[in-house]
Structure 1
Amino acid sequence: MQLATLLSQKKAAILGRWLTMIYESYPPETAIFLRKEKNRFDNPAGYRISEGLEGLYGALLQEMERDQVLTCLDEIIRIRALQNFTPSQALAFIFLLKIVIREELAEEIQKENLAAEILDLESRIDGLALLGFDVYTKRREKIYEIKADEAKRRVSGLMRKTGLSEDSL
């Protein structure tokens, strides 16, 4: 049996464990909320993470276009960048997939001698992490840009209120 077939057959179990491991990276009260609340309007972060994971999993199985993969990564990484995760924390979820797959398919990997296919899959997962770093960097730059613009607006407003201008400084 080929690895792609096994990954398709065990998709629900793998995605479920992957999602659980991601939720465990959050503080306990947040993890409970993310796990419990399934409504996309009551829990938009959990919904986006779940949708992003499903898209990434599909990308690994079907060789999606780079733009589609970036969109899936952005779904998850945007949230983690806003929550002030460090780059390593924000991207750790990608590497968790390797652990989940190895554990879920351990018996089949040995029995079917799928070591070469697993190495190829893990290389593609590593590639996702590299793309993810680009996404994280872009998101953090945008956050800093927004904060800088807001600070400029505040200073400008204060200067107008006090009757100062940039020229008088």
Structure 2
Amino acid sequence: MSSAQALAGKKKEILKHWFQTTVDSYPADTARFLKNQQDPFANPVGQTTYRSLEALVDALIAGSGREAMMEALDPVIRIRAVQAFTPSKATAFVFSLKQIIRDCLSGESGDMVPLDRQIDEMAMAAFDLFMGCREKIYELKATESRNQFFGSLKRAGLIAETEADGPGF
């Protein structure tokens, strides 16, 4: 039995443990809420995280490439990028999947090297997505600060704006 077939047979168990581990990376009160609140409207972060993890397990089973993994990672990484996670903490949940799979498939896993490579690729994709989101956040903050600064100067009468030239002194 291949590792992908073994993974497919234990998908629900693996997904349950991976979700628990991922949610446990949040503060205790938040983690408890994310685990216990089943209403997708009251708990969009928990539902989005669960769906993303499920899509990632499906991608592993199917042997999908980087694009499929990035598509599945995008929602959960966007959530984690706006929170107070460091890049390593935000993406560590991907690496935890290796041990979860080993624990769930003990004795029946076969060759784990292909799965390990896919998980490593998934982690690199997660890091790339996280950094892209953080760059966008900082770009938006810089643009907002610049707009506030020029707005203040304009209200103070220190600059005049023309359509052709943009802000000017």
Q: What's the TM-score once normalised by structure 2's chain length? A: 0.90
Q: Can you list the C-alpha shifts for 1:107-160, whole angstroms capped at 9, x where unaligned?
A: 323xxxx1xx21221111001111111111111111011111111121122112
- Aligned equivalents of 1:99 and 1:65: distance in 2? 21
Match of 1:139 in 2: 133
Where in structure 1 are there 5+ consecutive unaligned residues?
none
- Aligned equivalents of 1:23 and 1:66: distance in 2? 24
Structure with the larger helix share: 1
Is the 2:49–2:76 Cα contact (8 Å) retained in structure 1? yes
Question: How much identity, in percent, do the aligned residues show?
Answer: 40
Match of 2:45 in 1: 45
Match of 1:148 in 2: 142
- Aligned equivalents of 1:129 and 1:80: distance in 2? 14
Q: Is the aligned partner of 1:5 residue 2:5?
A: yes
Match of 2:117 among 123, 136, 157: 123
Match of 1:90 in 2: 90
Where in structure 2 are there 5+ consecutive unaligned residues?
160-166
- Aligned equivalents of 2:145 and 2:40: distance in 1? 33
Question: How many residue pairs get matched?
Answer: 162
- Aligned equivalents of 2:34 and 2:58: distance in 1? 22
- Aligned equivalents of 1:54 and 1:159: distance in 2? 51
Letter in 1 for 2:108: E
Match of 2:55 in 1: 55
Is the 2:66–2:122 Cα contact (8 Å) retained in structure 1? no
Match of 2:151 among 150, 157, 161: 157
Query: Which SS does the other structure have where 1:106 is aligned?
Result: coil
How far 1:167 sits from its partner (Å)?
A: 4.2
Q: Can you list the C-alpha shifts for 1:36-61, whole angstroms capped at 9, x where unaligned?
A: 11222211111111111011111111
